[in-house]
Amino acid sequence: MTLAALVAAGPLRMGAFGPAVQSIQLALKARGYPLTGTGYFGPQTDTAVEDCQRKAGLPPTGIVDAATAALLDQPVATAKAAPAPLWLAVSLSHLGLKEGAGNIDNRELVADIQTVAKDYQHDATPWCAGWVSYCLAKAGEKPSSQPLWALSYADTRNQPVVRLGGPAVGAIAVKTRNGGGHVTFVAGRTRGGALVCCGGNQNDEVNNSPYSPDVFVGFFWPKGAALPAVTAIDTLPIVNAAGKPVSSET
């Protein structure tokens, strides 16, 4: 039975459970998304559906309607590159999200961070860690128990992260700075050898910014998520300002 037939009686969304959800998850898994076919439509499935929809030019609702089911019924392109880790995909999908001007808050930004830090009130408060925490939670991963504290993501003893031997696409990169730290996600590299990192509170917005690899105290990964196969800067893709890989000729 096709996926389109499975959703003919109604779309599938967050909270759904059953064989139809499992079929959707397995179709997404075939496209490289880290789903195991539990049959429960949770945050990880929701985010994978959104990412798949966005890449296909469909509205990123996270709801598997007839158009999305038809998309997932299409044959899988075997040569297609695996998608970015879901938490990085969440951050990349928000490129350009900025703080409000002056004393005016960006309500979307504040609301996103409040999903992991209820007491967060104003985007004038540093939000790089809040953004990383939001992206991890949206992707179905466990964020730090100190969701607004950047350096907590380097605490492998008390937080749900493991240390990597080097950078990888999607790695949580932590650096110190006066008064605290900064945390962001590795998206790729530049031809000059800098890391391209996608994070929040970078020039008051979500963007891709270059950093010297040496400024980071370490690179980390959500505990329980499948580890990257390699962790070295020279294996990272060269990416543009949108976080998309570019060829060596361009």
**Tens digits of residue pLDDT in 79-115:** 566 789 999 999 999 999 999 988 899 999 999 999 9
pLDDT at 243 over 50: yes
Q: Which CATH number fits domain 86-235: 3.30.1330, 3.30.70, 2.50.20, 3.90.1720?
A: 3.90.1720
Q: Name the CATH superfamily housing domain 3-73.
A: PGBD-like superfamily/PGBD (1.10.101.10)
Q: What is the pLDDT of residue 82?
A: 74
pTM score of the predicted model: 0.90
Find the mean pLDDT for residues 14-24: 96
**Contacts of 139-143 spanning 24+ positions with Cβ under 8 A:** 139/43, 139/44, 139/47, 139/85, 139/86, 139/87, 139/89, 139/90, 140/42, 140/43, 140/44, 140/45, 140/47, 140/86, 141/44, 141/86, 141/87, 141/222, 141/224, 141/225, 142/222, 142/223, 142/224, 143/116
* CATH 1.10.101.10 residue ranges for the chain: 3-73
pLDDT at 203 over 80: yes
Phi, psi of 210 (to 5 degrees): -85, 140
Q: What is the pLDDT of residue 79?
A: 54
Residue 1's pLDDT band, with cuts at 50, 70 and 90, is confident
Q: What is the average pLDDT value for the chain, to the nearest integer?
A: 94
Residue 246's pLDDT band, with cuts at 50, 70 and 90, is confident
* CATH 3.90.1720 residue ranges for the chain: 86-235
